[in-house]
Structure 1
């Protein structure tokens, strides 16, 4: 086994997102379980809220501020890798970081490179043309990393179809902190009072940044059908870009829906506890973080069959993607089932995520892979 003295994490950015949250959780677990291994982070973009939290927690975090106007800062990336190469393994996160890691790791003197692939949506409507080009380049260079970690079984076939080398893939699912994400009756009552949602009303929510893959249009169309059949239903959308998006506001007005729109929040466990139903409406995901978090909060969940959602939820909670009628019918069934049935489902989902996807199991799997290279 090859000893790992230092792990360098290169990530495209440190804003709020699934990959960034997974990195943050992994770093805390690594420090707790392997404090002798140095962990350092470099963001290709800005510091972001995740970077700020990591710095405040004492992690070494730098931001390169790379953009189309500042390509020469790539020299700064090479210098950073070169300066930290002793005993190092380079773990990259997301496509742009994967590509740069493939190009710069060996010239900087780093022999062990691991990529991280965390999504399944590679269509024209899912990612930008520039990112699709990066994916194609990564497929061509996929023999360079020693391994490719993915958190989603479903991502392997998608990327192999793009030309990625199948033998490089290793599945390490997300883990969840079930102490932070847990049912909170007091927070539930506080938020519902603040939002003026009564005990007799059904609160359905989605926590997701505004992104084509999250398919907020699917959520709204399903919500409109549900509200017609169940007038006591109310809705909340939480995520980056949600309150500011004019088109989203127009759609809500046109459908005459009672929707509360909120930006990024620090109290996501409380929000999930306040819901009666969590609804994931995405057309593409990897291993959906927020779905596991909602389950950990013992919230009844309905989701499209996106990414590895079927690894998390039972069949009665899953519907096809981009089918608002099916999504509305699933939500209506759980609305009609009543609060006790939803509570039993929530308790079952929390037990499932606690047993199968504990956060403390993730870092040992990464470390075992690292030491095998």
Structure 2
């Protein structure tokens, strides 16, 4: 038996858990919680289950709508909560959050925390938007508290009326789990670039304008590619580095077609993005929606300034003309102008130093984790 309060963290996919949560869950254990992770099966979970103080349980969940499978997952989750009897459940990612909020309420879990990392409804229209909005409202309504990982996301959630009657809060300066500024440091030991990318950058002999993330329309890649074409037509000297995996949207094909006219290096998925970020003169992320883009903070820790859109979440990641630049969403002309200006601006390198200072000051992992742990216990936001 343990006298520790029991916390169950639920996410949909194993990749989310293994990418973002290992250090976080370990911190929660060291902060006094009995920690249980619940997610779908996937690579890397064996390593996570071997960490002292963390118990991993597998519960299949589908990321996309699947009514029959979702109902089965809901019943299994309810049964699991009844057996586990957690004091707190914390859930993030859309499907896991919807199921956990319903199952947690039915199982009478005392404290149900919704970690809001983004709003899918922002980039769809018509009936899908209404459905996503209803599900978002229901998830929030069934939760004890809603914590958005950026101030603009909290505001957007309230403005759209999907907050379920709750005041949506942001802890500290935002972010769901902060940044390890020692790991993401130019002085840290890290792998070399793959030989093909390294050779291409060396032969290109021009500043590198980069993107790191999912090759998905929500990330504004069409705006990015159009802006690169405009820069090329205007005689701006650069080479582009695109790091990420295709998600079935045909983006990789568009990039490969663009390579016939301008220098674009496409790497596909990489296990460690740090050497690729370090090779960039700037990171560009002009998403149409985000929660709080981690990659911008990771680049900042590596002293790489960013140009981002003024979309939800992105606008929180950069201080304009201090750590980078902010441009209107879906505006390739404005983005092209910002890229050209940055490449001409001798002060741009100073933006990188300022960006790292901001990360170290405002987004240290233990600070962010500590704020969330306190909120889970109710010591910041108060009990229900």
Matched, 1:180 2:176: no
Match of 1:65 in 2: 60
Structure 1 residue 297 displacement after superposition? 0.6
Match of 2:48 in 1: 54
Match of 1:144 in 2: 142
Match of 2:289 in 1: 284
Where structure 1 has 5 or more consecutive residues not aligned to the other structure, the ranges are none
SS at match of 1:169: coil
1:121-136 aligned at under 5 Å gives the runs 121-125=120-124, 129=128, 133-136=131-134
CA–CA distance in 1 between the matches of 2:165 and 2:294? 24
Relative to structure 1, the CA distance from residue 56 to residue 326 in structure 2 (aligned partners, 3 Å threshold; closer, same or farther) is farther
Asked whether the equivalents of residues 156 and 166 of structure 1 are also in contact (C-alpha less than 8 Å), the reply is no
SS at match of 1:206: strand
- Give the alignment partner of residue 341 of structure 2, picking from 316, 333, 336: 333
Number of equivalent positions: 360
Relative to structure 1, the CA distance from residue 126 to residue 279 in structure 2 (aligned partners, 3 Å threshold; closer, same or farther) is farther
TM-score (norm 1): 0.85
Asked whether the equivalents of residues 121 and 127 of structure 1 are also in contact (C-alpha less than 8 Å), the reply is no
Deviations 1:143-192 (A, max 9, x none): 33111111011122322223324544221212111011112498698568
Asked whether the equivalents of residues 8 and 91 of structure 1 are also in contact (C-alpha less than 8 Å), the reply is yes
Structure 1 residue 133 displacement after superposition? 2.2
Asked whether the equivalents of residues 309 and 327 of structure 2 are also in contact (C-alpha less than 8 Å), the reply is yes
Structure 1 residue 106 displacement after superposition? 3.4
Matched, 1:225 2:230: yes
Larger mean CA deviation between 138-147 and 247-256 belongs to 247-256
SS at match of 1:302: strand
Deviations 1:88-130 (A, max 9, x none): 211111222222222211332422111111114523538993x
* Larger RCO (CA under 8 A, 6+ residues apart): 1
Asked whether the equivalents of residues 193 and 276 of structure 2 are also in contact (C-alpha less than 8 Å), the reply is no
Matched, 1:361 2:367: yes
Relative to structure 1, the CA distance from residue 311 to residue 39 in structure 2 (aligned partners, 3 Å threshold; closer, same or farther) is same
1:232-271 aligned at under 5 Å gives the runs 232-241=237-246, 246-254=250-258, 256-271=261-276
Where structure 2 has 5 or more consecutive residues not aligned to the other structure, the ranges are none
Asked whether the equivalents of residues 123 and 288 of structure 2 are also in contact (C-alpha less than 8 Å), the reply is no
- Give the alignment partner of residue 275 of structure 1, picking from 274, 280, 288: 280
CA–CA distance in 2 between the matches of 1:190 and 1:128? 44
Matched, 1:39 2:29: no
SS at match of 2:141: coil
Structure 1 residue 371 displacement after superposition? 2.1
Deviations 1:61-82 (A, max 9, x none): 2332234353424332222212
CA–CA distance in 2 between the matches of 1:99 and 1:84? 19
Larger mean CA deviation between 309-318 and 143-152 belongs to 309-318
SS at match of 2:339: helix
Deviations 1:226-262 (A, max 9, x none): 23334531111112227x7645323541572322222
RMSD: 3.0
CA–CA distance in 2 between the matches of 1:74 and 1:323? 42
- Give the alignment partner of residue 197 of structure 1, picking from 160, 176, 201: 201
Match of 1:27 in 2: 25
Relative to structure 1, the CA distance from residue 200 to residue 370 in structure 2 (aligned partners, 3 Å threshold; closer, same or farther) is same
